[in-house]
């Protein structure tokens, strides 16, 4: 990549960040996310739902339709003054909270939530928004970050999916991808998460 390409990508990155701050549909994709949520959660109600990086609440009104009388919706975001999502989710784990639906929708990579975010769910659905690694400026920090989480500095979609599945198994959660939406610069994953018994999953007996 030459200097001109790097300058163009840096400027493009600044444009995307500006549109994120302005809550532009072009970068947040609310209609596509709504389509995925309604497809996956169709017919369900009384759900315990949490949004991490809830932001401007683009999805909150959609999720409210699945709360019913006995469920709830929790929204965490610095913008809402409800806390730093990266810190709050550890607090919720310590409180042994459990959810039926979790939406992880950060402004960058969701990797810092892995593997511990799976402790917040025994049986449910997790939505995860993730930028494609190759659309960002691949500086040394980004490369090292991706290598730490995925074993390489420019992981493919298949590598990312397999690693997320293994992150779940770190806490004995079976993670299965049920939907992947491609938004150009990023993906939107929907995964089922189910707690499994280590002995049954591995076929090992306790002595």
**Tens of pLDDT along 7-41?**
444 444 444 444 444 444 444 578 999 999 999 99
Average pLDDT along the chain: 88
Q: Is residue 39 part of a domain?
A: yes
Q: Is residue 18 part of a domain?
A: no
123, 48 Cβ separation under 8 angstroms: no
The conformation of residue 189, written as its DSSP 8-state character, comes to: E
Q: What is the mean pLDDT of residues 141-156?
A: 95
Q: Is residue 65 part of a domain?
A: yes
Q: What percent of the chain has pLDDT over 90?
A: 75
Q: Is residue 16 part of a domain?
A: no
Q: How confident is the model at residue 189 (pLDDT cuts 50, 70, 90)?
A: very high
Q: Supply the pLDDT for residue 1.
A: 52
Q: Is 15 exposed, middle or buried (0-12, 13-18, 19+ CB in 10 A)?
A: exposed
Q: Supply the pLDDT for residue 151.
A: 96
The CATH number assigned to the domain holding 147 equals 3.40.50.150
- Buried residues in 22-48 as b, exposed as e (16+ CB within 10 A): eeeeebbbeeebeebbeebbeeeeebb
Q: Is residue 10 part of a domain?
A: no
Phi, then psi, of 26 in degrees rounded to 5: -60, -30
Helices marked H in the chain: 3-21, 25-28, 30-41, 60-64, 85-94, 140-150, 157-169, 198-202
Q: What is the mean pLDDT of residues 132-153?
A: 89
Q: Supply the pLDDT for residue 3.
A: 52
More confident residue, 54 or 207: 54
pTM for the predicted model, two decimal places: 0.84
Instruction: Report the Cα 103 to chain-centroid distance in Å.
Output: 6
Q: Is 153 exposed, middle or buried (0-12, 13-18, 19+ CB in 10 A)?
A: middle
Rounded distance between C-alpha atoms, residue 149 and residue 203, angstroms: 28
Q: Supply the pLDDT for residue 87.
A: 95
Instruction: Residue 117: give the domain boundaries.
Output: 29-202
Q: What is the mean pLDDT of residues 163-189?
A: 97
Q: Supply the pLDDT for residue 206.
A: 73
Rounded distance between C-alpha atoms, residue 35 and residue 11, angstroms: 31
* CA nearest to 59, candidates 190, 176, 207: 190
79, 102 Cβ separation under 8 angstroms: no
The number of distinct structural domains making up the chain is: 1
Q: Is residue 90 part of a domain?
A: yes
């Amino acid at each position: 990549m030459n200097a001109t390409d790097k300058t163009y990508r840096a400027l493009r990155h600044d444009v995307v960040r500006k549109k994120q701050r302005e809550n532009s549909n072009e970068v947040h994709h609310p209609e596509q996310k709504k389509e995925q949520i309604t497809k996956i959660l169709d017919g369900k109600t009384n759900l315990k739902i949490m949004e991490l990086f809830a932001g401007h609440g683009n999805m909150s009104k959609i999720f409210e339709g699945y709360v019913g009388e006995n469920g709830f919706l929790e929204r965490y975001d610095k913008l809402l003054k409800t806390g730093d999502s990266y810190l709050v989710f550890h607090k919720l784990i310590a409180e042994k909270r459990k959810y039926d639906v979790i939406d992880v929708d950060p402004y960058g990579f969701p990797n810092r939530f892995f593997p511990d975010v799976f402790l917040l769910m025994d049986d449910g659905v997790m939505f995860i928004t993730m930028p494609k690694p190759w659309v960002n400026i691949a500086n040394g920090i980004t490369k090292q970050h991706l290598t730490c989480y995925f074993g390489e500095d420019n992981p493919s979609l298949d590598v990312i999916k397999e690693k997320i599945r293994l992150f779940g198994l770190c806490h004995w959660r079976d993670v299965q991808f049920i939907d992947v939406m491609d938004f150009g610069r990023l993906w939107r994953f929907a995964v089922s998460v189910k707690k499994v018994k280590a002995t049954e999953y591995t076929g090992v007996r306790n002595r």
